Amino acid sequence: MAGTSNTKRIAKDFKEISNDPPLDMNVQLGTDGDMHKWVVTVNGPKESPYAGGHFVVQVTLPPNYPFKPPIISWQTKIYHPNVSNDDKGTMCLGMLRDGEWKPSSKLSNALGYIRQLMIEPDVDDAIEQSIAREYKEDRKEFVKKAKKWTKDYA
């Protein structure tokens, strides 16, 4: 029964987000049609160094969603303090932590927050400390590198 409830919730969330996607985003099911794996294309916000880039983010909904948070991983490399620079592309997003995520939390809000972090990174909650330090101490260099990575990878 929990699986049925989970599937209904996921289908409801997917329909809502598909009908009214967050700004600069397109949401689709993965190639195999698995409702637990979504592919989100994020267009770099024009007010960010990622403008003109198209970033692919995978959203994985665990079997116990919505009681556990979705897992967000960047498939496209991005120069950002809140995204790991490894092959996992893990994103540090406070609302997606086990203690912060609630069953009433909206996935659309999490996706909107991703866009907001592209405009204004949360350097106090960074995965990549050296990039966070650069953002704080040498914004011009950060922007230069972020634009180059966007051009090279996105």
As annotated, the active-site residues are 92
Answer whether 18's CB lies under 8 Å from 3's CB: no
The two three-digit tokens of residue 123, written as one number: 């350097």
Q: Which amino acid is at 137?
A: E
Give the whole-angstrom CA distance, residue 134 versus residue 11.
Answer: 41
Answer whether 94's CB lies under 8 Å from 125's CB: yes
DSSP tag of 108: H
In sequence order, the 6+-apart residues with CB closer than 8 A to the CB of 98 are 68, 69
Beta strand pairing call for 25-29 and 54-60: unpaired
